Structure formats: structure tokens, C-alpha cells
Amino acid sequence: MIDWGWIADHVPAILGRAVQHLEFAAIALVVGFAISFGLALLSVRYRPAYPVVAGLAGILFTIPSLALYSSFVPVIGLSLLTVEIPLVLYTLVIYVRNIVAGFDSVPAEVLEAADGMGYTRMQRLRAVELPLAVPLMVAGLRVASVSTIGLVTISGILGSSFGGFGFFIFERPNFATEILVGAVGSIALALLADALFGVLQRRLTPWSRLNVELEMAKTGRSAAQATAAV
């Protein structure tokens, strides 16, 4: 059933798509984090902004990606931006929630102690709040990376210059070998990212091994992430 000859002949193309998949995902994960970090800081400093930011990001998340990818085409044409804008938009809700939760997880006594020691706000942010918020930020990075890798697959709908492994899923719907290569590749990348950031997360919070896994499983694709898989 599997045409091994096709796979052997297409090794460079498969590797090229793997690189494209990771590239698309990495750009969105970095840009999305930078934007979210700003939005999260704003939400922490000025609390009333948080429901607005989280609400808007949540609504963006409910737009099916099949539709969001295609709706930018008439406006900006087909370029790297056509993929990256939707991908970045989808990361926002995951990142913002986790970064804000990270800052919220810093105990009030710790903040008071820092204030008492004469830290300025900037110093307190850099030396106290940021390090303590890192574990939850990494949790967010883990969820966002898995979600983004899945969404890159769907960008294959935009045509043959997109999709990463998704290209193989969309190219010829009746050729099993190619579809399997695309599906297995996407799944492997997602699992790899999940495992990689999972290890990082456990390193950062060695005291709560199983709890971290449980929280991930519980919040991973919960309400906020509802529609992003589309």
C-alpha cells in the first residue's frame, strides 16, 4: 500500500517541507510571544484591560483557520505574511493567558519583600517576577507550539508554496503514500515539540512533575483553544 519508491525519490522534498513547517511555526511562535508579552504586561499593570485583551484574543481563536487563511488572500496576496498573520493571531490567546497566569502566580509576600528591599518596579519585574513566571510561560509555549504546528498543516489550503507537511496532505487526496507522509510528518513534529518543551518545563519545575502534566492535559486544549484546531 505504501509506495516506498516515491518516498525514496522525494527525500529532499520531504526534508524541505519539514524545514518549511518548522520555519513557519517558529516565526509565529517568536512574533506571537513578543506581542503577547506586551499585551500581558499591559493586562497585569492595568487590570481592566485583561478581560478585553483575553476576550478579543479568544474571539480570534474561534474563527476557523480554513477561513482565516483564505480571508487574507484578497487583501495582501500570497506571501509569508498570509500564513504568519493567522498563525500569530492564534497564538495570542494561549500566550497571554499563560503569561498573565505566570505573573499572577508570584505570591504577594514575595512582591512585598522585593518592594521592602527597595527594588524599583523595573528591577522587581526583571529579578523577581520574570524568573518566577517562567514555568507557566514555558507551559504556554508548549501548548502554543503544538497548536501552531497543527495549524501550519492546514495552511496547505493556500497552495503549493505553503503547508509544510500539510502540502503532502493537500496535493493528491487519492495517493495514500503522500498523504501518510504528510500526516506522519505533522504528527511527529507536534509530538517532538510537545516532548521537547515538556522536558524543559519539568526541568524548570522539578517539584511538580505529575501536576504539570495534569495541568497540561487539563488546560491544553480547553475552552480558549476551542476552535484553533480548525
Partner 1 sequence: MDLIGAAAAWFMDPAHWNGANGVPYRLAQHVGISLVSIAIALAIALPVGLYIGHTRRGQALAINLANVGRAIPSLAAIAIVVPFTQMIDPGKGFNLYPTIIAMVVLAVPPILVNTYAGIAEVDRDLVESARGMGMTERQVLRSVEVPIALPVIVGGLRSATVQVIATATLGAIYGLGALGGFIVEGVAQRDDGRLFAGVFLVAALALLAEGGLALVQRRLSGPVSAAAAAAAAQAS
Least distance CB 15 / partner 1 (angstroms): 18
**Binding test (CB under 8 A) with partner 1, winner from 67, 78, 80, 81:** 67
**Binding test (CB under 8 A) with partner 1, winner from 7, 49, 132, 220:** 220
Nearer to partner 1, 30 or 226 (CB): 226
- Give me the numbers of helices (H) and strands (E) for the chain, helices first please: 12, 0
Per-position x/- string for 107-146, each x denoting binding to partner 1 as judged by CB under 8 A, each - no binding:
---------------------------------------x
Question: Environment class of residue 17 by beta-carbon count within 10 Å: exposed (0-12), middle (13-18) or buried (19+)?
Answer: buried
Q: Return the residues of window 47-66 that contact partner 1 according to CB under 8 A.
A: 62-64, 66
Of 27-35, 95-103, 127-135, 176-184, the segment contacting partner 1 by CB under 8 A is: 176-184
Of 5-13, 36-44, 120-128, 152-160, the segment contacting partner 1 by CB under 8 A is: 152-160
Nearer to partner 1, 31 or 63 (CB): 63
Q: What is the per-residue DSSP string for 169-199?
A: HHH-TT-HHHHHHHHHHHHHHHHHHHHHHHH
Tell me 207's DSSP state. G
Q: Which residues contact 78 (CB under 8 A, 6 or more apart)?
A: 158, 159, 161, 162
**Binding test (CB under 8 A) with partner 1, winner from 56, 183, 200, 204:** 183
Nearer to partner 1, 12 or 218 (CB): 218
Q: Cα 189 to chain center, whole Å? A: 13
Least distance CB 110 / partner 1 (angstroms): 27
Q: Residue 153 carries which side chain, given as an amino acid letter?
A: T
Of 42-50, 96-104, 122-130, 177-185, the segment contacting partner 1 by CB under 8 A is: 177-185
Q: Which residues contact 128 (CB under 8 A, 6 or more apart)?
A: 106, 110, 111, 114, 119
* Nearest CA among 179, 107, 96 for reference residue 140: 96
Q: Residue 134 carries which side chain, given as an amino acid letter?
A: V
Cell numbers standing for residue 119 = 527594588
Q: Which residues contact 157 (CB under 8 A, 6 or more apart)?
A: 66, 69, 70, 163, 170
| Site residues, partner 1 (CB under 8 A) | 1, 62-64, 66-67, 70-71, 146, 149-151, 153-154, 157, 165-166, 169-170, 173, 176, 179-180, 182-184, 186-187, 190-191, 193-194, 198, 210, 213-214, 216-218, 220-223, 225-227, 229-230
